[in-house]
Structure 1
Amino acid sequence: MKRSIAYYITILVIKVKGLKKTFSKNPVDYKKLRTDDVPISKNSYFRKNSYMRTFTELQTTISEVKPKDESNKLLIFIHGGAFVSGPSQHHWDAVEKISKQTPYTIWLCDYPKAPEHKISEISANIDHIYSKALEKFNPDSITIIGDSVGGTLAIALTQRLIQKNSMLPYRLILISPVMDATLSNPEIDEIDRLDPMLSKKGVLSAKQMCAENNNLNDVSISPINGNFEQFPKTLLFLAEYDITYPDQRLLEKKLEESNVAYDTIVGEGMPHIWPLLPIMKEAKSAFKIIVNVLNQ
């Protein structure tokens, strides 16, 4: 597939920033990754054109962005960052685009991070956020979007809700979700050489920082080991040049076997979380799909 000039510029920027190098170390330098964190956006759009407030639930700071007109729809945005960092500027850029083009209230959730906090504590925060959402919104009006480990947390939350026979969100939108914290799929090593952003060594290190008692098979951190029966509608964005791609293909099989209504968009030659990356024509096209789905 012919790629845009902006694609090559984006890949060059990723390489110059040294993300691959950072994720090639064990332990991963999570403090360095956090230098790109943007807890609260300074973008004038949120001050001038939307109603934004922040509030705290447990140890999570939620940035709520409301549209001008009253909205009965909620998008819970669970950001990625290998469990150790985030949100980043690309998450805020995504929130701005969604706010401009859809009628959703958006909750961007800055949850507690590893290594200071383990997966059980992070999961408790995600569960609590969803329970608070149900106090204000009908579950049929709630969509959850998550990129990378944000997708991990969204899937694991849904699995727990089903176990408890609780009300489910209407839809999941998953962008490069990390499905297996063990990274033991043999196909990963081959893709590691192609992935411009992530490397197995550092990503595995981040998962170990987050895991409870080093249990990387726990469904809370490796939802591929859980059940997918009764899952809500799901939209998947996968990337071929992404070390998490082989396990996402296993996710597809599980969704199909469980008769879940899902759609998959595969980015040929794309890197991790490509729909959220700036500049790229391919990312803009993918993000347009997200907006269209939200507006259905």
Structure 2
Amino acid sequence: MKQSITYYLTLLVIRLKGIKRNFSQDPIDVSKIRKEDVHHPSGRFFKKYLLQTFKISDSNISEIGVDKNAENLLIFIHGGAFISGPAQHHWDTIIEIAKRTNYKIWMCDYPKAPESQIDKISENIDTIYSSALEKHQADRITIIGDSVGGTLVTALTQRLLIKKVALPNKLILVSPVMDASMSNPDIEHYEQKDPMLSKTGVLSAKKMCAGNIDLKEPMISPLYGTFEGFPKTLLFLAQNDIMYPDGKLAQLKMEKSHVNLKVFDGENMPHIWPFLPVMKEAKTALDKIIDEIKVN
């Protein structure tokens, strides 16, 4: 597949920003990673369509929507290696989704490591979903998560199944981190191709988040949980991403569990490619995400 000029420009920007270098440190430099955080969005769009901000447990929720009376809700669980975020590309993605769908969107700015560990983070995600169910029917809720946001969305769904709580209508997982232990030997091969992430820094961040919990605990590594009974799931994987081999293992487990699954395999794509700005291939992928969100 021939890549666009904007693809190569995006890779150049990634290299110039030193993202992979930052993710090659142990311990990872949390303060440096957090320099890209945007906790309060600015701009004309948000002045008009940021409906309200509120807290659920220790998470800050920004509710965005063109239609303030919309019955459909998109819960957005951002990535950031459990230590940072949301970033500007998350807010830019939300703008596109809000403009083109009849959904309210909850951007969920949840507690981060190392100040908070996965048990507290998971409790927050559970409480957010419980609060959403108080205002919206489960079949009107879609949940999207990128990177560790995909971890949190997947692990939440596994807990909902155990507790027999009504499931959301649909899950959208963008380059999800399925195994925090990073123990898959195939990762070494993909690290050579990955322009963004390195196993060293990612594993450092996961250890900060895990605390005393085993890195293969499904709460932080949903690959080791069950996928039986999952709702319709969209899985966006990137072939030049160290998360790719575990993503393929998760795909296999979902298929064996007969999940209604759509897989978008990004040839030569980097981590979280549908959310990257400028790149033509990202816009095409985001179009697919928005089309799927529209289908309730």
**TM-score category by the smaller chain?**
over 0.9
Measured after TM superposition, the shift of residue 165 of structure 1 is 0.7
**Per-residue deviation, residues 136-158 of structure 1 (Å, max 9, x unmatched):** 00000000000000000000000
Give matches, 1:82-161, under 5 Å: 82-161=81-160
Structure 1 CA distance for aligned equivalents of residues 150 and 50 of structure 2: 26
The alpha carbon displacement at 1:67 in A equals 2.1
Q: Does the residue aligned with 1:16 lie in a helix, a strand or coil? A: helix
1:192 aligned onto 2:194: no
TM-score (norm 1): 0.98
- Where in structure 2 are the equivalents of 1:253-272 lying within 5 Å? 253-272=252-271
Question: Residue in 2 aligned with 1:35?
Answer: 35
Deviations 1:193-235 (Å, cap 9, x if unpaired)? 1100000000000000000315101111000000100000000
Residue in 2 that maps onto 1:173 = 172
Distance 1:68 1:139 in 2: 19
Q: Is it true that 1:20 corresponds to 2:26 in the alignment?
A: no
Partner Cα separation in structure 2 for residue 203 and residue 86 of structure 1: 15
1:246 maps onto 2:245 in alignment: yes
1:44-79 deviations in Å (ceiling 9; x for gaps): 11113x242110011100000122352100000000
Q: Distance in 1 between matches of 2:106 and 2:113?
A: 21
Q: List 4+ stretches of structure 1 deviating above 4 A.
A: none
CA distance in 1 between partners of 2:179 and 2:50 (Å): 37
Paired letter, 2:28: V
Match of 1:213, SS? coil
- The one-letter code matched in structure 2 to 1:64 is E
* Superposition TM-score, scaled by structure 2 size: 0.98
* RMSD (Å), alpha carbons: 0.8
The one-letter code of the counterpart of 2:61 is: I
Deviation at 1:95, TM superposition (A): 0.6
Residue in 1 aligned with 2:69? 70
SS at match of 1:167: coil
> Hey, what's the Cα distance between the residues in 2 that align with 1:15 and 1:81?
18
CA contact (8 A) 1:51 1:68 kept: no
Distance 1:217 1:19 in 2: 26
* Partner residue, 1:80: 79
Any idea what the Cα deviations from partners look like across 1:168-209, whole Å, max 9, x if unmatched? 000000000000001010110011011000000000000000
Which sections of structure 1, spanning at least 5 residues, go unmatched? none
Does the 8 Å contact 2:67/2:103 carry over to 1? no
User: Structure 1 residues 211-220 or 175-184, which shifts more?
Assistant: 211-220
2:163 corresponds to 1:164: yes
* Structure 2 partner of 1:282: 281
Q: Distance between the aligned counterparts of 2:83 and 2:217, measured in 1?
A: 18
The equivalent residue for 1:46 is 46
| Matching residue's letter, 2:258 | N
Counterpart AA for 1:44: R
Partner Cα distance (1:188, 1:204) in 2: 12
* Aligned equivalents of 2:39, 2:52: Cα separation in 1: 13
User: Take 1:186 and 1:32, find their aligned partners in 2: how far apart are those partners?
Assistant: 29
**Number of residues paired by the alignment?**
295
**Which letter maps to 2:20?**
K
> Residue 51 of structure 2 contacts residue 68 of structure 2 at CA under 8 Å; is this kept in 1?
no
